[in-house]
Amino acid sequence: MSEESLSQNQVENLLKAMETVGGAPSDPKAAAGTAQNGPIVGSIPESTNGPNARITAYDFKRPERVGKDQMRAMHSLHEALARNFGAAISGMLRTMIEVKLLSVDQLTYSEFVFSLDNPSCFNVLKPEPLDGNWILDIAPSLSYAIIDRMLGGDPKPSDTLRRPLTEIENRLIGRIVDIFLNQLKESWENIVELDLNVESVESNPQLVQIVPPNEVVILVGFELMLAQNRGMLNLCIPFNTIENYNSKLSRNGWVGYGKAAPTEETKGKITSSVDRAPVDVVVTLARSKIRTGDLLDLSVGDIITTEKEVKAPLELAVQNVPKYNATAGAFKGKKAVQIESTIERNSPNGNP
């Protein structure tokens, strides 16, 4: 054994350092002893930002390359996708299917692959004009429930078959994948115009290597509920494929994107949609008040008088909003009204 031993000052300094890790020692003598005897082994040097500086752990195996603003934008973007996809797939399967966006996380590709079931419905997507590939994975419990419903059955929760999908089953699931890709394209149209195609379909996720194992990916998880069946649909987006559009995914860019000046094309689409929208038009003859006793005594042939003059115009309301003053009449054997004037908004009694 070594014959060297710690002095009393060094022992006290070590105890002080254990009590005040990350801060300056409270005893000035201990501070002087530290300066004379050198730095204490195991102590944390005082930060230039002060003793209250926050220290956070950083895992170099899982670098967080995606900022918080981009993650918020991805969440908002795919939350709308979940609603639209749920409506589209419900119409195709003729039953109510609820789609929820569970999470938007960043992790490594290896962690994503080893978290999936094997076998699974593992679709490799080609998102033109982006470089690289995306992944769309459908859990086996969800795949077999959808196939059962498409073939006219009533799927019930049971032990999932542990086998890859057959060629016919892949064709049936391909219809669901096509609907999802159409909705995904519409969700991303404000960021980039995508042309999504299925490049290949695999059953073993571990055999597909679209990026290095330690590459950061964005995992978008959806939960689908078909009757009593639940399953996950996962969209894996390698970050290096969308890195060039990082600025558009930032919060400021995302918010500002929705405030772009309207084009003639967008105006035309809105106008054509509004032109075909039906609206309710109601013409009010008059308004009056009567007592409850008189109301109960009403019978056929009774006359109800109102305070409105005979020559006063009638009120025409569009969607319960008074818009015009009109006169009653007939046209081609049917009751009609002729618009005389527009009702001013600031007029409390509806007269111009």
Residue 21 has pLDDT above 60, yes or no: no
- E strands of 209-296, at which residues? 216-226, 229-238, 281-284
Split at pLDDT 50, 70, 90, the class of 234 is very high
Split at pLDDT 50, 70, 90, the class of 152 is confident
Virtual torsion, Cα 343, 276, 273, 178, nearest 10 deg = 150
Split at pLDDT 50, 70, 90, the class of 134 is very high
Q: What is the pLDDT of residue 121?
A: 87
Nearest alpha-carbon partner for 127 in 174, 190, 188? 188
Tokens linked to 225? 């509920």
Reported as a single tens digit per residue, the pLDDT across 161-217 is 678 888 888 888 889 999 999 988 888 888 888 888 888 888 888 888 888 888 888
Split at pLDDT 50, 70, 90, the class of 248 is confident
Core vs surface per residue 10-34: b (16+ CB within 10 A) or e: bebbeebbeebeeeebeeeebeebb
Q: What is the pLDDT of residue 3?
A: 53
Which residues in the chain are classed under CATH 2.30.330.10? 281-342
Residue 272 has pLDDT above 80, yes or no: no
Count of C-beta atoms within a 10 Å radius of residue 316: 18
CATH architecture of the region 68-261: 3-Layer(aba) Sandwich (3.40)
Which residues in the chain are classed under CATH 3.40.1550.10? 68-261
Question: Considering the entire predicted model, what is its pTM?
Answer: 0.54
161 CB-near residues (< 8 Å, 6+ apart): 140, 144
159 CB-near residues (< 8 Å, 6+ apart): none
Containing H/E element for 331?
Answer: strand 321-331
Helices vs. strands in the chain: H and E counts, helices first:
11, 10
User: Taking the CA of residue 229 as centre, how many other CA atoms within 13 Å lie in the half-sphere pointing to its CB?
Assistant: 24
- What Cα–Cα distance (Å) separates residue 125 from each residue in 38, 133, 214, 292? 60, 6, 20, 70
Virtual torsion, Cα 251, 237, 95, 279, nearest 10 deg = 30
Reported as a single tens digit per residue, the pLDDT across 48-75 is 455 566 666 655 555 556 777 778 888 8
CATH architecture of the region 281-342: Roll (2.30)
